[in-house]
Amino acid sequence: MNKTPSITVSIKTLNEAQGIEKTIDSVRKQLQPYPHQIIVADSLSTDNTRELAIAKGAMVVCLDNAADRCCGIGHQLGWLYSEGDYLLLLDGDMELEPGFLDTAVEFLETHPEYAGVAGSVEMDDASNYEFKSRKQRLHLIYPQGDTDHLGGGGLYRREAIEKIGYLTNLNLHGYEEAELGIRLQAAGYKLHRLAAPTLATPLTPCQPLKCWPTVGKTAFCGRQASCSVTAGVKPISRRRCGLYVMS
């Protein structure tokens, strides 16, 4: 690599006080070799998620209207403030596995036809039948190799996201990563899941592309989030998402 790429980490949260500090700590350890920023995109948590994130040195961007909450809006908030050559998407209850970031960056640096890369997913000992069943099916939920979407987060190429116009659809209440995959592939990019572990996370198995037609008909489509910026920092204007910035 001729130039060390910069990385923005976007962590979407809603009441993640129990895990947000561990999430930030897990990524900060791997970010040291890279110019970086950590953004926590919060959907108006009612616990102290935002305060904990700020204490860890993260930038916090937050909705200003609870009615705008949805799965698709979280990482779009982070994208609007991102600056990195690559964007790492995580949830506030995830922990990044050691070594993944270097492996993912190397893959994207040497494979320009790929827009994003993720890895295998690990989970702690299952506590009930449902989670035991999910653990046994991890290879089906998160298949390795070239794939049509990267469920559970991943590292994305900024240039590819700019080409398709936006990161995640703020009208969606689910399957936002599948919709992102559809647009990236339509633009000529590929997606890949490595054998290297990415993260530890709660799992929600699904078949996004089969469910997509139903999700696309939701009454939330076409909704616009309000726009405003407040809070103890200089005003920064961002279109399409109502939010404020904390520091």
Per-residue model confidence as pLDDT tens for the chain (247 residues):
478 999 999 999 999 999 999 999 999 999 999 999 999 999 999 999 999 999 999 999 999 898 888 888 889 999 999 999 999 999 999 999 899 999 999 999 999 999 999 988 766 555 555 555 555 555 556 678 999 999 888 999 999 999 999 999 888 878 899 999 999 999 999 999 998 877 665 544 444 444 444 344 333 333 344 323 323 222 233 433 444 555 5
Residue 235 CA to chain centroid, in angstroms?
25
Q: What domain range is 166 assigned to? A: 7-246
Q: What are phi and psi of 154, to 5 degrees?
A: 170, 180
CA distance 16 to 157: 27
Q: What separation in angstroms does the CA of 74 have from each of 65, 95, 212, 241?
A: 13, 18, 19, 10
Count of domains forming the chain: 1
**25 domain residue, yes or no:** yes
User: How many residues does this entry show for the chain?
Assistant: 247
**1 domain residue, yes or no:** no
CA distance 62 to 138: 32
pTM of the model: 0.79
**51 domain residue, yes or no:** yes
> How many other C-beta atoms lie within 10 A of the C-beta of residue 231?
16
**2 domain residue, yes or no:** no
